């Protein structure tokens, strides 16, 4: 039986299952003897695109990243934030300052203590334009995060031209032109942070001697200043050399190289005399500045004068951001506007510190096995590309008692059938969520076994939305996009997915309103016959019912299509290409279904294109697609922080490349509101603008489908699918404890 199952072909999994015979057992496949209770063999859903917290964004990567790197908080078994590096925190009444108090027990795997300066370095790294991190949106709430990421915000170095030393300004023009005028034709704005040296420049660790440099910049070569020692977010200047100021710089060579150098050695400023037009940042964005409620309401709209300043008087430093380090074990985060969810997002990649000394030497290869330095409960021992990743217990992790595993082997299996068959044969102890082919689900759920579900098959709610993303740079006509949404009957998807997904044209996910408790119905202000879904954000306190989407309506679809043809004329597309990633059976089935719907209901020619997962991620992020399959999974139930934020102009996860000024203005209004219910009412209006302009076509709310052997313990299944992997273990006496 098991040999037959192992040979199952992915394309015909269910038919072969039937040929082999559905096993009439309580559990699906082999239940091997537990030989090592501290070794979990886990079938991941593909090859991680990265293990760097600044670069990892997919479900194949982030669970491993969270095992490797500690954060201010971490995920508990219920998927909520719990203390980790930070033992406690204080929140200001206006929800604009969050002070995290760190313990002093954390260590990097190289033995160095982990402190607040590591947190600040990671924030700087995530947001800096040289990093171009896909996770920068995790800090969008921080003061001046957007201007820093766009390389437009600066600190004034000395009193000049009506400005005072320490003022924070944003660049709005250069050499007598606006930025838009200057950059027409591809011109690059001169960078005030560029420096050179007349002699070779030795890149090293802070305070190290030149003989210990790990890289040498030739004379007269530009480097970019990132940070200066001794600032409000930077480590102190080393006392051993008289306390002189050091500069942390980047040299654009090969994969890049970072390092510290004495500031005095940077004796050439190539853009010192360039004239920049600047204006002070809005008062709500000034780091360290408290505002009364009435001041906050007008701060963003107040007129700000412009000044002409020379490049030598401006420098972009991390101290322009809303982060302060008052001592080695305190981190203060500041938001431009009231932000109620900062603690809830403090467990995410943007606040998982990375080790400066290693990233500096190998910016793109520092997570290679031979280089990596970690801070989490697990450490990387092996990474065999397209095969497996092996993590081992980290001996330097501060909470050894909380680590139940000595070893985690994560198989990089991007084919669902192969992963499920490997589980069936006993090759892995558990599958990551939603790594089971749709064609297996009728058997696993008991639909094909007289209602008898396999006991190791688990289905749970999931905080995620599955949608088609439309490249709005390609499909600029909103009527065409709306037609595509109206043309899809979402109700049929669950019939062939067999996963119990909730069809919806709404964007923000949640359970079907019809399934809510009476208490939740009252909280949401709806009745049980209200169509659609709702998100319970805080149990008993806060509910969000998203605006209705452009649900199935063939007449409206044809009417919108007619408008699109009229407006586009000869530019109306002769065909549409839908792109999806391979290895997941349901993606292909949905692609074929959308092809059929758009062809039958709109008469459009639709071609399908499939790609390997990592290539698909790169292409969709770069805009190299027409329409594509996508999903978005929340880290906690918050419509604003986790779902709508990706539609802001310039957000790195804005795959539709949609930039709508009405949405931007509505979002900005949302940010000024302190009361959470009123804030959600404003958010509703912003999301309504988005959903009616149709940059995405929501299809359904996910469910989670898991397989776990009966001896697996504490491999948590929670609504955000973020298990603390290191807390799992295998029970050799599982048959006794199961009551068998």
pLDDT at 374 over 70: yes
**Percent of the chain clearing pLDDT 70 (strictly above):** 97
Please tell me the predicted confidence (pLDDT) of residue 16: 40
Please tell me the predicted confidence (pLDDT) of residue 25: 92
Radius of gyration, CA atoms only, the chain = 27
Please tell me the predicted confidence (pLDDT) of residue 15: 41
User: Taking Cα atoms as reference points, which of 281, 286, 222 lies closest to residue 253?
Assistant: 222
What's the whole-model pTM score? 0.89
Average pLDDT on 328-351 reads 96
* CATH number of this structure's domain 2-84+355-457+705-737, picked from the four choices 3.30.420.130, 1.10.15.40, 3.40.190.10, 3.20.20.80: 3.40.190.10
> 460-703: which CATH architecture?
Roll (3.10)
Please tell me the predicted confidence (pLDDT) of residue 738: 67
pLDDT, tens digit, 9 for 90 and up, residues 609-643: 999 988 999 999 999 999 999 999 998 899 999 99
Task: Identify the band that residue 161 occupies on the pLDDT scale cut at 50, 70 and 90.
Answer: confident
- Tokens 């295998």 found at: 730
- What are the domain boundaries of the chain? 2-84+355-457+705-737, 153-189+271-315, 194-265, 460-703
Task: Identify the band that residue 1 occupies on the pLDDT scale cut at 50, 70 and 90.
Answer: very low
User: Taking Cα atoms as reference points, which of 1, 4, 5 lies closest to residue 419?
Assistant: 5
pLDDT, tens digit, 9 for 90 and up, residues 410-427: 999 989 999 999 999 999
pLDDT, tens digit, 9 for 90 and up, residues 356-371: 999 999 999 999 999 9
Query: Within 13 Å and on the Cβ side, how many CA atoms surround 728?
Result: 25
What is the enclosing helix (H) or strand (E) of 537? strand 535-538
What is the enclosing helix (H) or strand (E) of 302? none
Average pLDDT on 544-570 reads 98
Residues 6+ apart with CB under 8 A from 479: 560, 561, 563, 564, 567
Locate 87 and state its tokens: 């033992």
Helix axes 478-486, 585-602, angle to 10 degrees: 110
Average pLDDT on 83-111 reads 97
Determine the Cα–Cα distance for residues 61 and 479; give it in Å rounded to an integer: 37
Please tell me the predicted confidence (pLDDT) of residue 241: 76
Helix axes 478-486, 676-693, angle to 10 degrees: 100
β-bridge pairing 576-581 and 627-633: parallel
Please tell me the predicted confidence (pLDDT) of residue 8: 37
Determine the Cα–Cα distance for residues 344 and 676; give it in Å rounded to an integer: 15
**Percent of the chain clearing pLDDT 90 (strictly above):** 89
Average pLDDT on 69-79 reads 95
Query: Within 13 Å and on the Cβ side, how many CA atoms surround 410?
Result: 31
Residues recorded for the chain? 740
∠ at Cα 725 (720, 729), nearest 5°? 130
pLDDT, tens digit, 9 for 90 and up, residues 259-295: 999 999 999 999 999 999 999 999 999 999 999 988 9
pLDDT at 17 over 80: no
Residue 617 buriedness (CB in 10 A; 0-12 / 13-18 / 19+): buried
pLDDT at 731 over 60: yes
The total of other beta-carbon atoms located within 10 Å of residue 368's CB is 12
pLDDT at 171 over 90: yes
User: Taking Cα atoms as reference points, which of 56, 704, 123 lies closest to residue 67?
Assistant: 56
Determine the Cα–Cα distance for residues 227 and 231; give it in Å rounded to an integer: 8
User: Taking Cα atoms as reference points, which of 442, 588, 705 lies closest to residue 10?
Assistant: 588
Please tell me the predicted confidence (pLDDT) of residue 106: 98
In this structure, are residues 579 and 4 in contact, taking their beta carbons and an 8 Å threshold? no
Please tell me the predicted confidence (pLDDT) of residue 12: 37
Determine the Cα–Cα distance for residues 263 and 229; give it in Å rounded to an integer: 9
pLDDT, tens digit, 9 for 90 and up, residues 424-463: 999 999 999 999 999 999 999 999 999 999 999 999 989 9
Dihedral angle sign, alpha carbons of residues 367, 371, 373, 379? positive
Task: Identify the band that residue 301 occupies on the pLDDT scale cut at 50, 70 and 90.
Answer: confident
The Cα diameter of the chain in Å comes to 83
pLDDT at 6 over 60: no
Please tell me the predicted confidence (pLDDT) of residue 568: 97
Q: What are phi and psi of 555, to 5 degrees?
A: -65, -45
Locate 264 and state its tokens: 């005095």
Distance of CA 85 to the CA centre of its chain: 20
> Where on the phi/psi map is residue 145: left (φ > 0), alpha (ψ -120 to 50), or beta?
alpha
Task: Identify the band that residue 21 occupies on the pLDDT scale cut at 50, 70 and 90.
Answer: low
pLDDT, tens digit, 9 for 90 and up, residues 204-263: 999 999 999 999 999 999 999 999 999 999 999 887 777 899 999 999 999 999 999 999
Locate 276 and state its tokens: 């920049």
pLDDT at 508 over 60: yes
In this structure, are residues 196 and 216 in contact, taking their beta carbons and an 8 Å threshold? no
In this structure, are residues 721 and 524 in contact, taking their beta carbons and an 8 Å threshold? no
Per CATH, 2-84+355-457+705-737 and 460-703 having the same topology is answered no
pLDDT, tens digit, 9 for 90 and up, residues 656-715: 999 999 999 999 999 888 899 999 999 999 999 999 999 999 999 999 999 999 999 999
Please tell me the predicted confidence (pLDDT) of residue 740: 44
Task: Identify the band that residue 109 occupies on the pLDDT scale cut at 50, 70 and 90.
Answer: very high
Determine the Cα–Cα distance for residues 183 and 576; give it in Å rounded to an integer: 33
Locate 361 and state its tokens: 């030497």
pLDDT at 737 over 50: yes
Q: DSSP H helical segments within 282-403, as ranges?
A: 293-299, 342-345, 356-361
Mean pLDDT value across the chain: 94
Please tell me the predicted confidence (pLDDT) of residue 7: 33
């Amino acid at each position: 039986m098991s040999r037959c199952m192992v040979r199952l072909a992915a394309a015909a999994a269910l038919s072969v299952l039937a040929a082999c015979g559905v096993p009439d057992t309580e559990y699906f496949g082999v239940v091997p003897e537990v030989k090592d209770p501290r070794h979990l063999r886990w079938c991941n859903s593909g090859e991680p695109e990265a293990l760097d917290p600044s670069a990892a964004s997919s479900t194949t990567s982030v669970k491993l990243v969270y095992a490797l790197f500690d954060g201010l908080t971490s995920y508990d078994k219920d998927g909520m934030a719990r203390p980790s590096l930070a033992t406690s925190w204080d929140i200001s009444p206006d929800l604009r300052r969050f002070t995290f108090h760190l313990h002093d027990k954390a260590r990097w795997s190289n033995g160095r203590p982990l402190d607040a300066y590591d947190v600040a370095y990671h924030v700087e790294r995530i947001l800096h334009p040289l990093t171009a991190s896909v996770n920068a949106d995790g800090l969008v709430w921080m003061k001046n995060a957007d201007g820093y990421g766009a390389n437009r915000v600066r600190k004034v170095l000395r009193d000049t031209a009506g400005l005072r030393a320490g003022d924070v300004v944003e660049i709005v023009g250069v050499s007598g032109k606006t930025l838009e005028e200057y950059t027409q034709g591809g011109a690059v704005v001169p960078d005030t942070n560029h420096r050179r040296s007349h002699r070779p420049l030795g890149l090293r660790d802070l305070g190290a001697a030149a003989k210990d440099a790990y890289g040498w910049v030739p004379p007269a070569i530009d480097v970019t200043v990132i940070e200066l020692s001794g600032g409000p977010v930077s480590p102190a200047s080393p006392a051993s050399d008289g306390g002189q100021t050091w500069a942390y710089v980047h040299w654009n060579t090969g994969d890049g190289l970072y390092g510290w150098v004495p500031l005095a050695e940077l004796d050439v400023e190539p853009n010192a005399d360039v004239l920049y037009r600047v204006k002070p940042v809005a008062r709500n964005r000034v780091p360290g500045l408290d505002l009364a409620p009435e001041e906050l309401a007008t701060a963003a709209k107040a007129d700000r004068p412009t000044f002409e300043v020379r490049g030598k008087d401006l420098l972009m430093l991390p101290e322009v951001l809303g982060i302060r380090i008052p001592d080695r074990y305190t981190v203060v985060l500041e938001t431009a506007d009231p932000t109620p969810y900062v603690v809830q997002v403090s467990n995410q990649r943007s606040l998982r510190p990375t080790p400066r000394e290693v990233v500096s030497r190998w910016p793109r290869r520092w997570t290679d096995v031979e280089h990596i330095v970690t801070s989490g409960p697990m450490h990387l021992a092996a990474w065999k590309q397209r095969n497996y990743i092996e993590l081992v217990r980290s001996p330097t992790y501060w909470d050894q008692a909380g680590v139940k595993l000595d070893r985690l082997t994560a198989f990089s299996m991007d084919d669902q059938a192969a992963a499920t068959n490997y589980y069936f044969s006993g090759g892995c102890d558990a599958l990551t969520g939603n790594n089971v082919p749709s064609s297996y689900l009728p058997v696993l759920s008991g639909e094909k076994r007289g209602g008898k579900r396999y006991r190791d098959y688990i289905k749970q709610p999931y905080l995620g939305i599955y949608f088609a993303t439309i490249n709005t740079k390609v499909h600029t006509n909103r009527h065409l996009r709306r037609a595509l949404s109206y043309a899809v009957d979402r109700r049929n998807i669950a019939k062939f997915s067999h996963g119990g997904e909730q069809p919806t044209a709404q964007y923000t996910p949640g359970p079907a309103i019809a399934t809510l408790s009476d208490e939740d119905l009252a909280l949401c202000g709806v009745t049980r016959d209200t169509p659609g879904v709702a998100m319970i954000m805080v149990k008993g306190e806060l509910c969000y019912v998203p605006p209705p989407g452009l649900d199935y309506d063939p007449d409206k679809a044809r009417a919108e299509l007619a408008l699109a043809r009229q407006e586009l004329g000869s530019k109306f597309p002769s065909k549409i290409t839908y792109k999806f990633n391979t290895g997941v059976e349901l993606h292909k089935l949905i692609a074929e279904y959308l092809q059929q719907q758009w062809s039958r209901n709109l008469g459009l020619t639709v071609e399908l294109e499939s790609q390997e997962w990592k290539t698909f991620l790169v292409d969709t992020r770069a805009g190299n697609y027409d329409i594509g399959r996508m999903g978005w999974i929340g880290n906690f139930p918050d419509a604003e922080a986790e779902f709508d934020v990706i539609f802001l102009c310039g957000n790195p996860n804005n795959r539709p490349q949609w930039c709508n000024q009405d949405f931007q203005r509505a979002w900005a209004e949302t940010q000024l509101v302190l009361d959470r219910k009123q804030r959600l009412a404003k958010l509703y209006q912003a999301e309504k603008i988005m959903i009616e302009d149709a940059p995405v076509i929501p299809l359904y709310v996910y469910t989670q489908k898991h397989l776990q052997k009966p001896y697996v313990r504490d491999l948590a299944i929670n609504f955000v699918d973020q298990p603390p992997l290191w807390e799992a273990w295998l029970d050799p006496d599982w048959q006794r404890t199961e009551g068998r």
